[in-house]
Structure 1
């Protein structure tokens, strides 16, 4: 398990740094650690967040249908 900074975390999950920052502020991003003014992500938490947000092209779950 590694700890990485925001820019590295954004690359890890395939998002821009600004979108990852916004998701964190909105409470929709992966779990993070705040150390003073620094934000740190654990790669284990990033993997968990990615798995929880995985969708297939034909996903018809209620949450996805309600958003449409």
Structure 2
């Protein structure tokens, strides 16, 4: 007798258990994807800040350079 058949025999709602497991896995996947998106967004924001700082430093250096 399979484990599923044994659980059904004692009255366990196996379909509900499987549905709950799939929902939990889907929720964990969404949370992981959201965390990845947040991390990538933060990395892009840092790169933008650095590029602005770099461009500003070059512009300031060019403004102060003798002509």
TM-score by length of 2: 0.28
TM-score by length of 1: 0.28
Relative contact order, higher structure (CA 8 A, sep 6+): 1
Larger strand fraction of residues: 1
Larger helix fraction of residues: 2
Q: Which has the larger radius of gyration?
A: 2
